[in-house]
């Protein structure tokens, strides 16, 4: 029996070791980042580092990253 993941191109992505220095490239967002927003920023920067431009998420906080397009799962 095939699993759901068999038909998907799934990979584990690792953040750049310098992801935190990339925070300054977030169009002025970094001074206001706090709490969970820091984790969201790390995820967004990891995706950008790997060339991923689309994220499937219910979290509207990802909408602030111009290099990502968020798709809401149905």
The Cα–Cα gap between 46 and 19 comes to 7
Residues pairing with 55 in the sheet = 70
Residues pairing with 71 in the sheet = 56
pLDDT band for position 1 (50/70/90)? low
> Which pLDDT value is given to residue 33?
81
Q: What is the pLDDT of residues 13-67, one digit of tens each?
A: 888 888 878 887 776 777 778 888 888 999 999 999 999 999 999 999 999 999 9
Quote the strand ranges of 23-64, DSSP E.
54-56
Residue 5 lies in a domain: no
Residue 32 lies in a domain: yes
For the cut 80, the answer to whether the pLDDT of residue 3 exceeds it is: no
Residue 66 lies in a domain: yes
| pTM of the complete model | 0.78
Residue range(s) defining the domain that contains residue 49: 14-71
């Amino acid at each position: 029996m095939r699993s759901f993941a068999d038909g998907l191109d799934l990979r584990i992505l690792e953040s750049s070791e310098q992801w935190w220095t990339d925070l300054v490239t977030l169009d002025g967002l970094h001074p206001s980042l706090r709490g969970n927003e820091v984790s969201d920023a790390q995820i967004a920067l990891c995706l950008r580092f790997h060339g991923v431009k689309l994220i499937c998420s219910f979290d509207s906080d990802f909408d602030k990253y111009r290099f990502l397009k968020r798709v809401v799962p149905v």
